[in-house]
Chains A and B, each alone.
Chain A
Amino acid sequence: MEKLSTSLDQNYKFFQQRLNHCEDVEFRILNPYKVKGNEIIFMYCENVIDELIVFETLFEKIIQNYPKKNEKIDQSILKDVFPTTSIFFLDDVQEIISYLFYGFCIILFPNSNKAGLVCYSQKNFRQVGEPQSEVVIRGPREGFVEVIRTNIAMIRSKLPNANLKVRLKKIGTESKTFTAVIYMENKVPLDTLQKVLTRIDKIDIESTHESGSIERRLEEHPFSLFPQIVHTERPDKLVSDVMEGRIAIIVDGSPHALILPSTFKMFLQASEDYYERYWLGAALRVVRTFAFLIALLLPSFYIGVTTFHLEMLPTELALAIATQKEGTPFSAFFEALLMEVFFELLREAGIRLPMPVGSAVSIVGGLVIGDAAIQAGIASPAMVIVVALTGIASFAIPKYSFAIPLRILRFGLMIITSFLGLFGLMIAIIAIFIHITSLSSFGVPYFELSYSSFKEMFYFVRPSHLKNKNKFTEGEFK
């Protein structure tokens, strides 16, 4: 049965059968005058609804206004009793059931193939708080939560503008997760929007609980190491990106909104760059660019220089490294590998542990890696500096997802450098370079070496690919 029938009995039986063993769903039959064929049936899911209000307002008022014995009850009673509440009627069974679990009270009437829906949703979820993954010193302290309604409300309150469009989609054949596509109608490039919408429709997935699983299905190169979609927990960042002409996607149940199209440089930007003085923002972006290079290259560069190109070092430094290496048993490569693996272990252990234990681990780990490894003769002090600097540099990258490819590539680069020296490192860099320049995010080049790209990065101007020639006009796109 896809549509409701006109028979109340049949509908009731169907729902009882369909919601068999869903013991959180309550059925209530209301028939105050005990007239046969004049009863109505309420259906609600008790955990996601405010039961008190349902009893106090819905039930009581309907009972008060219930038609007398000789009058038939019909849908109009809802409008009469609650003139101000939003009420709507549906006949699609699948939709009715999904609304039931969103926190709607469903009312079935006799002799009607439409059910009335009234929202009494009350879910107790996490409060709006400071975003965990994007902390700023200056800037709004609110971050997205798991409830899509709250998230959209936060965006709307920042941009009360009719040009801000919120288009709801449902993703997941089983979960029917609400997904909002948010964009500024007068700023978004039409072709990009079209691409995004068609690609969302094409997503074939049973259920989704986090925007990450959608992100992977939206990307053009899902097997690339580099993430091609920026995600954010900050409404202010989302709004400013949407204002630039980008498209945001919010998935119910996930505090991470997706922003697309994304480019390489967006991963090195923080929202604070725009709130502090220009010079600080520009300087910090330079620092982050260096952090990116250090996190990627430093250990392999160190291996290459000390094992292949010692003549490149200043003589004093070469001597100092030789002195430090004295008495350590391993080769520079193995030493670096060991310390990097130690470091990755520590990081992994620290992330998963509860806060108090985590800090203890990091203290012990710091001591073990730093001092004890040198004392025990496992690593040389210079190597510890290199590994520590690499770790710190990877923390300086504002987006966690962007540090992941660096962590993986670092090991590859170390291995290739241990065989081929700086020459091999150069080949690997060129290969990475070719790869990231070949990537694209919704038709926009992911990484561009051009003056305009440089300007966008350091002068904070609007990206050229978003200065659209084909602006969205009303009614053109449905």
Chain B
Amino acid sequence: MKSLGVIAIILVLLLSSCTNSEEVDKLSLISAVGLEKIADNEYKIIIQYLMPKKDQEPFPITKEVDGLTIYEANNNLNEFLPRKPYWSHNFIILLSEELAKEGIRRQLDFFRRNPEMRQDMLVAITESPRKILYNLQEQQLSGETLKLIAGQASERNGLGEVSTLHKVYQNLFFKKPFLTITHIFLDGENPRIDGVSIFDKDKYITTIKGDEARGLGLINLKNKYSSVTVNCLDNENRQITFNLTNTHKKKNAYVNDLGIFKIHLTLEFEASLTESHCMRNLSNTDTIKKLEKSLNKKIKELAKKTIEHSQQNVEIDYFGFGNLLYLNHPKKWKEIEGEYKTVYKNANIQLKIKTRIVQTGAVN
């Protein structure tokens, strides 16, 4: 009886085993996928897959396919691919702006649901995924390049967060979703990260660029590099540039007795001087103090600009302040949840910036 039980357990274990044995040389590794809307409920799916060649770099091939859903498109792909499409190693999901306006959650469902999918693929918004993917093919670049560019832009230039699939989904399921996704722009021949797309829940609203995008980076990112340039103390026409690292960030959100949504934001940075066109002696403590002050002012300006944009222009909280309030004061959040848009619009956001110049470089 005992041995019978053991056999039964073994059989159960065996029955639940994997059945998806696939030889690696029978797979088409998909490296990028673009989704575009043609008409209502009609999508064009553009995929780029890598064709491995012996003793050569795998070269990317772009194909287009129609389908109501991505999985249907995946099956349709088999009509002209020599091997089974394999999605796990996809680098990037490109969504067209038009499509994103309808909401991105259902488009990403396929990638989330599949248990074999890697969750570190980049989600990006662009005007036309088709153009970008064909452009990549012309240059013989795989989707990995785009992912790497996005990483560089975020890490070395403080331009938004790298919006991986995992993070996007995580942000979508917060109590108050706040979603920012990397935006890719085709600058002539070269794909380029030019800003951050902001979302209302999962619907695309607009893309912020330049100073506003950088301000968002300063507020949201931690320990990422970003450069800030201020004017010289003695000469308005000359500049001095610092590299900033965020060392400390404190956010506090509450609703006061008068019903005003209040946010206290303290940002601390360490700055190192990387380039100076000024003639001042930098070994002087006063000079450093003054420079720190003007840095504070500049950072505040940048951050304010973004905050103003979010409060006045688009009226969307894409910093996650609402979520912060929910985490700190869930009861208060329930009170204002329904009219959050107006509450946020009139919110009082107080900024406190502290900068410390830690390095002035090898020369004085």
Residues of A within 8 A of B (CB): 306-311, 315, 318-319, 321-328, 331-332, 418-424, 427
A310-B52 in contact (CB<8A): no
In the complex, what residues of B have CB within 8 A of residue A310's CB? 22, 24, 27, 86, 88-89
In the complex, what residues of A have CB within 8 A of residue B10's CB? 427
Which of the residues A315, A318, A332, A420 comes within 8 Å of B14, measured between beta carbons? A420
A325-B25 in contact (CB<8A): yes
Q: Kindly list 16 other residue pairs between chains A and B, CB separation below 8 angstroms, not including A311-B118, A423-B17.
A: A308-B18, A310-B27, A318-B89, A319-B58, A321-B24, A322-B27, A323-B56, A325-B24, A325-B52, A326-B52, A327-B54, A419-B21, A420-B14, A421-B17, A421-B21, A424-B17
B89-A323 in contact (CB<8A): no
Assess whether B117 is interfacial by the CB under 8 Å rule: yes
State the CA gap A418–B89 with chains docked (Å): 22
State the CA gap A319–B29 with chains docked (Å): 8
Assess whether B13 is interfacial by the CB under 8 Å rule: yes
Which of the residues B21, B25, B117, B144 comes within 8 Å of A328, measured between beta carbons? B25
In the complex, what residues of A have CB within 8 A of residue B55's CB? 323
A418-B21 in contact (CB<8A): yes
In the complex, what residues of B have CB within 8 A of residue A311's CB? 88-89, 116-118
Rounded to whole Å, the gap between the CB of B174 and the closest CB of chain A is 27
A322-B21 in contact (CB<8A): no
In the complex, what residues of A have CB within 8 A of residue B29's CB? 318-319, 322
A319-B23 in contact (CB<8A): no
State the CA gap A422–B23 with chains docked (Å): 15
29 interchain pairs, CB-CB under 8 A: A306-B24, A307-B21, A307-B22, A308-B18, A308-B22, A310-B24, A310-B27, A310-B89, A311-B89, A311-B116, A311-B117, A318-B89, A319-B52, A319-B89, A322-B27, A323-B54, A325-B24, A326-B25, A326-B54, A331-B23, A332-B23, A419-B17, A419-B21, A421-B17, A421-B21, A422-B18, A423-B16, A427-B10, A427-B14
Rounded to whole Å, the gap between the CB of A203 and the closest CB of chain B is 32
Rounded to whole Å, the gap between the CB of B75 and the closest CB of chain A is 20
By size class, the interface of chain B is 20 to 34
A423-B58 in contact (CB<8A): no
In the complex, what residues of A have CB within 8 A of residue B50's CB? 319, 322
Interface mask (B1-42 → A, CB under 8 Å = 1, otherwise 0): 000000000100110111011111101010000000000000
State the CA gap A319–B24 with chains docked (Å): 9
Assess whether B225 is interfacial by the CB under 8 Å rule: no
Rounded to whole Å, the gap between the CB of B162 and the closest CB of chain A is 15
State the CA gap A327–B23 with chains docked (Å): 13
In the complex, what residues of B have CB within 8 A of residue A328's CB? 25
State the CA gap A418–B19 with chains docked (Å): 10
Which of the residues B16, B58, B91, B117 comes within 8 Å of A322, measured between beta carbons? B58
In the complex, what residues of B have CB within 8 A of residue A419's CB? 17, 21
Assess whether B53 is interfacial by the CB under 8 Å rule: yes
B58-A323 in contact (CB<8A): yes
State the CA gap A310–B27 with chains docked (Å): 10
Once A310-B27, A310-B88, A423-B17 are accepted as A-B contacts, the answer to whether A323 and B116 lie under 8 Å apart by CB is: no
A308-B21 in contact (CB<8A): yes
State the CA gap A421–B89 with chains docked (Å): 19
Q: Which of B23, B55, B91 has the most CB of A within 10 A?
A: B23
In the complex, what residues of A have CB within 8 A of residue B89's CB? 310-311, 315, 318-319
- When C-beta atoms are compared, the residue in chain A nearest to B88 turns out to be A311
In the complex, what residues of B have CB within 8 A of residue A319's CB? 29, 50, 52, 58, 89
- When C-beta atoms are compared, the residue in chain A nearest to B56 turns out to be A323
Q: Which of A306, A315, A326, A328 has the most CB of B within 10 A?
A: A315
Once A307-B24, A322-B25 are accepted as A-B contacts, the answer to whether A423 and B18 lie under 8 Å apart by CB is: yes
The 5 closest A-B CB pairs, nearest first, are A311-B88, A421-B18, A325-B25, A420-B17, A323-B52
In the complex, what residues of A have CB within 8 A of residue B91's CB? 315
Interface mask (B54-86 → A, CB under 8 Å = 1, otherwise 0): 111110000000000000000000000000001
In the complex, what residues of B have CB within 8 A of residue A422's CB? 18
Rounded to whole Å, the gap between the CB of A427 and the closest CB of chain B is 6
Which of the residues B16, B24, B56 comes within 8 Å of A318, measured between beta carbons? B24
In the complex, what residues of B have CB within 8 A of residue A324's CB? 54
Q: Which of A323, A328, A421 has the most CB of B within 10 A?
A: A323
In the complex, what residues of B have CB within 8 A of residue A421's CB? 17-18, 21
